[in-house]
Structure 1
Amino acid sequence: MARLPAVSRAAAGPLMKLMYAYAKRQFGEVPEPFAVLAHHRKLFTAAAVHEGMANRAANVLPAAVRDLAVYRVAWVVGCSWCVDFGSMLHRLKGLDEAQLREIADYATSPVYNDDQRAAIAYADAMTSDPTEITDEQVADLERRFGRAGLVELTYEIGLENMRSRTYSALGITAQGFNSGDACRVPWAGQST
């Protein structure tokens, strides 16, 4: 259960009710982060606009590269909601769900190509604290994806770090958007 209660539809203002209806139509139910962020209408609106714009702008990288890097961040941070929702999005885009089940072994698993491995390793380097990015890693990613692709990958990984850490801090957990093994998350102190 989230550390803050969700704002119910009955308690939501007119704008929130519209956003709830849109989200329910899009995803089958209102994502809990929407309902928790609704406690701060202006930040909720800013986040919704930002997410929409970022989603439309992120079109340089192949989805199979970008989405795996984003999923890895959620998995490493341990945000079960982000893993759950990300698994659903991965499936709906027709991407390889076997890759989600193999994410712990991305460096050696045959289900990944070299571009995907490089992007996932970058996600790990950006998510570590302190970050562990090297000049060689950035140069390699620029060669693979171009400057715009590198910026997109960096931005999307940073955005998922913000999402995962925010939702984890607020105690928002898996909501059941996706079922199966892909949603298993290694929590701090547990082995993978």
Structure 2
Amino acid sequence: MPRIPAVTTADAGVVGRLIYRVAARRYGTVPEPLAVARHHRGVFWASLVSELGYERASRRLPAHLRELAVYRVATLVDCSWCVDFGTMLQRLDGLDVERLTQIDSYATNPLFTPDERLVLAYADAMTALPITVTDAQVAELAAVLGRAGLVELTTQIALENMRARSNSALGIIDQGFDAACQVRASRD
């Protein structure tokens, strides 16, 4: 249970109930971060609009690279909700979620391509405190992904750091989305 309880459907208001219904239809249930954010209408709307905007804008980077980087951040920050949700999204996109159990060895594991290794190392460097991104990393990624792809990757990694840290601070844990719990359990 989160440190701040989710706003129930009955208490979400007319518009909140509509958004909950749309979210439940899309994901199978109302994502708990959404229901917790409902306590603050301004933050609720800002996060909803920004998430939809970033989702629609993120089209330059191949989806598998974006989702892999976001998943990596979730594992580094140890946000079980993000790992759970991210695994579901990857499975729904038809990606190989079983190899996620090997993500900690990505640098040497043949399951990961050279481009995936670059992206994952960048996610590690952006998530490290202090940030350890180098000019060489940025130049190599720009050569592989293009400038627009690199900007998108950087934005997605930064967003996931925000989401994962917010969820962790609020005590929001995995909801059992799809096969995510099985993947997480095999990582531990």
Shared fold, TM over 0.5 = yes
Residue in 2 that maps onto 1:182: 183
Please give the TM-score of this superposition, normalised by the length of structure 1: 0.94
Indicate the SS of the match to 1:146.
helix
Find the aligned partners of 1:121 and 1:110 in 2 and give their Cα distance.
15
Instruction: Report if the CA contact (8 A) 2:115-2:144 is conserved.
Output: yes
Structure-2 separation of matches of 1:155 and 1:40: 24
Find the aligned partners of 1:96 and 1:33 in 2 and give their Cα distance: 26
Once superposed, what is the RMSD of the aligned Cα atoms? 1.3
Which 4+ stretches in 1 moved above 4 angstroms?
Answer: none
Aligned-partner residue type, residue 33 of structure 2:
P
Higher helix share: 2
Alpha-carbon distance in structure 2 between the residues aligned to 1:34 and 1:184: 25
Shift of the 185–148 alpha-carbon distance from structure 1 to 2, 3 Å rule, reads farther
Pairwise mapping of residues 25-36 of structure 1 onto structure 2 (< 5 A)? Answer: 25-36=25-36
1:189 match: none
Farther-moved stretch of structure 1 (99-108 vs 116-125): 99-108
- Report the AA paired with residue 141 of structure 1: L
Letter matched to residue 182 of structure 2: D
Contact 2:7 2:38 in 1 (8 A): yes
Q: What SS is found at the alignment partner of 1:102? A: helix
Matched, 1:83 2:83: yes
SS at match of 1:66: helix
**Which residue number in structure 2 is paired with residue 160 of structure 1?**
160
Percent sequence identity is 54
- 1:126 corresponds to 2:126: yes
- Counterpart of 2:151? 151
Given the superposition, is the C-alpha separation of residues 185 and 133 from structure 1 closer, same or farther in structure 2, using an over 3 Å criterion?
farther
Paired residues of 1:7 and 1:36 also in contact (CA < 8 A) = yes
Q: How does 1:1-192 map to 2 (within 5 A)?
A: 1-179=1-179, 180-184=181-185
Displacement of 1:185: 9.1
Instruction: Verify the 8 A CA contact 1:83 1:185 in the aligned structure 2.
Output: no
Q: What is the identity, as a one-letter code, of the residue corresponding to 1:167?
A: N
Identify unmatched segments of 5+ residues in structure 1. 187-191
Contact 1:98 1:111 in 2 (8 A): no
Structure 2's unaligned 5+ residue stretches are none
Residue identity in the other structure for 2:126: M
TM-score (norm 2): 0.96
Conserved 8 A contact 1:75-1:185: no
Residues 149 and 185 of structure 1, relative CA distance in 2, 3 Å threshold: farther
Q: Give secondary structure in 2 for the equivalent of 1:7.
A: coil
For 1:87 and 1:10, the matched residues in 2 are separated by 29
Count of residues paired in the alignment: 187
Deviation at 1:184, TM superposition (A): 4.0
